[in-house]
Homo-oligomer: A and B are copies of this chain.
């Protein structure tokens, strides 16, 4: 089974890396770019256990809260394929 986790800064948190990319795109003449925000993406392969969908989602939430995301400044979302 495959899961994709996306971790992004909360909208209220400044993203200097995104701003730097935005300026770099402007200087490369991509002037239509208004804003850039950067996030992280994790592709996680899981063994096909007999976990229910809910248990799997609970595991992913735990992974995000305990390791992948800093929930003080970041939001996370996940999809399961």
Is A52 at the interface (CB under 8 A from chain B)? no
- Closest CB of chain B to A9's CB: distance in Å? 10
A59 cross-chain contacts in B, Cβ below 8 A: 30, 32
Beta-carbon contact of B63 and A34 below 8 Å: no
Q: A46 contacts which chain B residues (CB < 8 A)?
A: 32-34
Identify which of B32, B34, B37, B62 contacts A42 (C-beta below 8 A): B37
- Count of identical protomers in the assembly: 2
Is A63 touching B32 in the complex (CB atoms < 8 A)? Answer: no
**CB-defined contacts of A37 to chain B, threshold 8 Å:** 42-43
The A49-81 residues at the B interface (CB cut-off 8 A) are 49, 51, 59, 62-63, 66-68
